[in-house]
Amino acid sequence: MKSVIRHAKLEGMTTITRTLGRTGPQVSALGLGCMGMSALYGDADRDEAVATIHAALEAGVTLLDTGDFYGMGHNELLIGEALRTAPPALREQALTSVKFGALRGPDGSWAGYDGRPAAVKNFASYSLQRLGVDHIDVYRIARVDPDVPIEETVGAIAELVEQGYVRHIGLSEAGAQTIRRAAATAPISDLQIEYGLITRGVERSILPTTRELGISITAYGVLSRGLISGHFSADRRLGGDDFRAHSPRFQGDNLRHNLALVEALRKIAEAKGVSVAQLAIAWVLAQGEDIVPLVGARTRERLTESLGALDVVLDADDLAAIEAAVPADAAAGERYPAAAMEHLDSER
């Protein structure tokens, strides 16, 4: 899990890469989380989304993260379109990371998770079709199904690996004991979990476990859904279809408290001549070469800002100042509404 410099296929481009786990693929040090291009953050511009994916690939980003339930398949179709219309050299370097298992109704409602082996293979067949690919690079259940042993779910993905439809097995929001059981069943490349300056629960038992087992972290929510991006304001109005309108961290006194943390970060960022978002992303990058942050940029402008974090060097004094400004557990409010928190094996 060593950080290296490689030259991308496009002439003149250099990208920092990291390897997912002991047996996983080499990926760009920053991945692109594509969910917001289809769902949960209000309206998105399809043309801009495709252009952003193309721009990410051109910049050397190789890891594209999605879920088959993002927009009920819309996000996979979007990525499929972007890959289909990208130059061959860019298309060939793209790696897909797909979450499956979330059950939804026609009205967008959530109905739990399905990790049964037959369901795993069914979900995969539809994802392959929507993405327009012959294999998925990293495949993982979005939330551990409490009614199905993780050994059965991971075992089904392992069969897909043997058949060539999947390259590597990942996990998502799994707790330490579940990670151990999964790793005893088949090689696990990475655990996808929320990790950022104001979401640091992973540090208690999960991160030590993944490091012991040689499993990487692909970190989502590094900007806490825009909360610590430096661009969110207390007077911003969110639509009912925006996840943040229902997130505890974006409500009332919680929001005011959390935005005060952002202002403390802004002072540090300005002193270094970088943006708040770049500082927050750089902090996650600095936590270890086994961690790959996923940035949820929906536009080329935000993508460019996020990629600037790769040039930010944080020394010991910088890290100490950031820790003083935003200590662990400094955030107000849970990271999900109560009903969603119940589905997180990582929080048990």
For the annotated catalytic residues, the residue numbers are: 70
Q: Per DSSP, what are the bridge partners of residue 245?
A: none
Reduced to 3 states, what is the DSSP secondary structure of residue 19?
strand
Give every CB contact of residue 103 below 8 A, 6+ residues apart in sequence.
Answer: 69, 110, 111, 112, 113, 114
CA atoms within 13 A on the CB side of 239: 8
* Backbone phi and psi for residue 11, each to the nearest 5 degrees, phi listed first: -60, 135
The token pair that represents 339 in the structure block: 């009903």
The token pair that represents 54 in the structure block: 């193309």
CA separation for the pair 174, 348 (Å, rounded): 9
Q: CA dihedral in degrees (194, 199, 202, 207; nearest 10)?
A: 80
Helix ranges restricted to H, 242-297: 252-272, 276-285
- State how far Cα 183 lies from the chain centre: 20
At 151, which helix (H) or strand (E)?
A: helix 150-162
Beta strands (DSSP E) in 144-234 are: 166-172, 190-194, 216-220
What does the chain come to in residues?
A: 348
For residues 283-295, b (16+ Cβ closer than 10 Å) or e, as one string? bbbbbebbbbbbb
CA separation for the pair 60, 31 (Å, rounded): 10
At 196, which helix (H) or strand (E)?
A: none
